[in-house]
Structure 1
Amino acid sequence: MPSAAERTRTLVQSTCSVLLVVPGLDPARAEPLLPDSRHVGPEGDVFLEFPANSPAVRAATHAQDDEVTAVLEITDVAPVSVPHRVRGRAWISGWLTCVPGIAGPGRMALRLEFGEAYVDDLWGAEDVEAEDFRDAVPDPLAAHEAELLQHLASSHDERMRALGGLLGERAAPAHRPDRPNAVPLALDRFGLRVRFIEGRGSCFDARFDFPEPVRDVTELRRALHTLFEAAAL
């Protein structure tokens, strides 16, 4: 399974919704605190780009001793229609400073120096150490995950349902008409997670691991083909 640091790093560098919370600023006015872009530096600090007149930039500019504390809140929502769509959340707290000269005109980059982090997602809830976050590598499928899940959900419904046959008695056999709906919920280099939706809105998740981690979309296609073949037997 991916480590807590890898999962957090993937969320930071994905298209998930993020919000920068700075003490003293009005949290009800969320829009000015949504960064336009974000990336992780070589030391594990998170760089955020805002308009130069953003409240976050003003707070960091006028701070004394560069001790503006802030929290980056990340919310991961499934890109497919499924009950309980929030797949996870992560929080990175640290100290905020301005980094002039690396953003375009009318913009300012802010550096969130990593202090501590916490992730609560489909894998569980864990703390994240600074060194682990710095050294972690985002999942190689993260940039393609949303498109891949949407494709599986819209074009391979029967194949997704057939995966229930690999679960034994937990899911209805493939030949029965009352087998649960199956929606692809999450995808990473280690495997596919599916949410099976039963009658009256109840549901459960199942994880289908690949024989070995995949490194790109080409290897993913082969791994999925093997998985679907196994389900068809």
Structure 2
Amino acid sequence: MPSAAERTRTLVQSTCSAVLLVPGLYGADPAQLLVSTRSVGPDGDLFLELPMDSPALRVATHAEGDGPSAVLEITDVAPVSLPHRIRGRARVSGRLTTVPGVPGPGRMTLRLAPGEAYVDDLWGAEAVWPEEFRDAAPDPLVGHEAELLQRLHAAHGEQLGALCGLLGERSARRPSVVPLALDRYGLRVRLCQDRRRCFDARFEFPEPVRDISELRHAMHTLF
């Protein structure tokens, strides 16, 4: 399974919605705290683009010393419609500083130096040390997962149903089968009789995949 640090890096470098929380900014417009884009530098620092009028930028610009503390909160929502769509959340806390230059019209960049991180997702809940976060790599499918899951859901329902026939009596009542998550190690699906009776099943690939080409072969083998 992916480590907690890998899962956190994957969420940080995904397209999941993220908000930057700074203590003391009570009553701020939530839209001004949304992070438009984010990336991770070689030292593990997060580079966050925010609107020029974001109060977080104002606080970081006028702060003294090591900069104000802040928390980046990420919410991962499944890209297909199914019960209980939130797949996980991650938090990265640290100190904010400004980054010279303007990345685009109406935007500025802040650097968040991680002090600690935490992930709570389909795998479980774990803390992540800054060194682990720095050294981890995001899942190679992170940029394609949403599209791939939507394609599986729209065009491969028969194959998913046949795959879940491997579950024996648990799938005997022909529940609905929805692809829930995809990573280099395998595919996770959610089976539901109704909104109150759901369970997840995970199917591992023979070997971890490194790119889309290997994923195609792994999915063909799985089906």
TM range (shorter): over 0.9
User: Quick one: structure 1 residues 27 and 72, their matched pair in 2 at CA, closer, same or farther if it must change by over 3 Å?
Assistant: farther
For residues 48 and 200 of structure 1, what CA distance do their matches in structure 2 show?
Answer: 37
Deviation at 1:106, TM superposition (A): 4.4
Provide the secondary structure at the position in 2 that maps to 1:166.
Answer: helix
Provide the secondary structure at the position in 1 that maps to 2:42.
Answer: coil
Tell me, yes or no, if structure 1 residue 226 matches structure 2 residue 221: yes
Q: Which has the larger radius of gyration?
A: 1
Deviation at 1:166, TM superposition (A): 1.2
Deviation at 1:118, TM superposition (A): 0.3
Across the aligned residues of Structure 1 and Structure 2, the Cα RMSD in angstroms comes to 1.4
Provide the secondary structure at the position in 1 that maps to 2:111.
Answer: strand
Runs of 4+ in 1 over 4 A off after TM superposition: none
Tell me, yes or no, if structure 1 residue 155 matches structure 2 residue 150: no
Report the TM-score when normalising by structure 1: 0.92
**Conservation of the 8 A alpha-carbon contact between 1:60 and 1:66:** no
Deviation at 1:27, TM superposition (A): 5.4
Deviation at 1:26, TM superposition (A): 2.4
Letter in 1 for 2:118: Y
Deviation at 1:53, TM superposition (A): 2.8
* Equivalent position to 1:179, from 152, 158, 174: 174
The answer for the alignment partner of 1:89 in structure 2 is 89
Letter in 1 for 2:4: A
Deviation at 1:199, TM superposition (A): 4.1
Which has the larger displacement, 137-146 or 160-169? 160-169
**Conservation of the 8 A alpha-carbon contact between 2:116 and 2:130:** yes
Tell me, yes or no, if structure 1 residue 189 matches structure 2 residue 191: no
| 1:1-233 pair list within 5 angstroms | 1-26=1-26, 29-101=29-101, 103-104=103-104, 106-172=106-172, 178-199=173-194, 201-228=196-223
For residues 102 and 200 of structure 1, what CA distance do their matches in structure 2 show?
Answer: 47
For residues 118 and 202 of structure 2, what CA distance do their matches in structure 1 show?
Answer: 23
5+ long unaligned stretches in structure 2: none
User: Quick one: structure 1 residues 27 and 21, their matched pair in 2 at CA, closer, same or farther if it must change by over 3 Å?
Assistant: farther
**Conservation of the 8 A alpha-carbon contact between 2:28 and 2:55:** no
Deviation at 1:37, TM superposition (A): 1.2
Q: How many residues align?
A: 223
Deviation at 1:102, TM superposition (A): 5.7
